[in-house]
Amino acid sequence: MLETYLDDALQPSLPVLPYDDRATEWHAEERARLTGEGRTPAFVDGQIAAVAAVHQLAVVTLDPSHFRPFEGLKIEEIPLTIR
């Protein structure tokens, strides 16, 4: 029932972007770079960053510190006033 609702009501207005080959390559390069610097990021943060980066989108987050190490990534922090 929930899956049907999500498919019917939300999916048309909230597209899900794939973690595809372009995102995988971006993620691998950034993860290797950061790991080489001794700053291994959480894998899932890298996946989120990669999908956003290859689609030229910003990551919107409450805590931008998870995403700042990634080069070339646009980040939008949600202000405290609307949390």
Give 24-40 pLDDT, tens digit per residue. 999 999 999 999 999 99
Q: How far apart are CA 23 and CA 37, in angstroms?
A: 21
H-run or E-run covering 60: strand 58-61
Give 36-81 pLDDT, tens digit per residue. 999 999 999 999 999 999 999 999 999 999 999 999 999 999 987 7
pTM more than 0.95: no
* Residue 11, phi then psi, degrees to nearest 5: -55, -40
DSSP 83: -
- Please choose, from the candidates 61, 59, 52, the residue with its C-alpha nearest in 3D space to the C-alpha of residue 80: 61
Q: Cα–Cα distances in Å, from 16 out to 7, 19, 42?
A: 11, 10, 21
Name the residue with higher pLDDT: 24 or 10.
24
In the chain, domain spans: 20-82
CATH code: domain 20-82 is 3.40.50.1010
